[in-house]
Amino acid sequence: MDHYGATSAWVVSNRDYTEQAYTLAKSNGVRLVNREQLIEMILAVNPAQSVSKPVSAVDKKPPVVPVAATIEEPDDLECPKCGYLLVKRKGKRGEFYGCSNFPKCRHTLST
């Protein structure tokens, strides 16, 4: 985003992402769009379009849900000190939100 002077960045794939990809994307303010979300977007723009059989065959399988996506958390929780995104972390006292700009910023927020 910095190189091109972009205000937002999306990565679109016809597959799903790893937990590490979700964490990295969140810490950099990048939106990840997987196959299911892409299908929903296409159908929202063109509701008359029917879903083809290959997509339906894929939808019959249970969706692969990454661990990071199962935890309900806000997508745009910003650090009040530096403006970077807060990400969910696990520590010896349990889960908390920590600044993605760590160690430069050490702001935390309890869950």
Q: What DSSP line would sit under 64-97, residue for residue?
A: P--HHHHS---TT-B-TTT-PBEEEEEETTEEEE
The tokens for 82 are 């530096």
Check whether 11 has a pLDDT greater than 70: yes
Check whether 68 has a pLDDT greater than 50: no
Average pLDDT over the chain, rounded to whole? 77
| Residue 98, Ramachandran bin (φ over 0: left; ψ between -120 and 50: alpha; else beta) | beta
| pTM of the model as a whole | 0.42
Check whether 66 has a pLDDT greater than 60: no
- As a whole number, mean pLDDT of residues 52-59 equals 51
Q: What is the pLDDT of residue 5?
A: 86
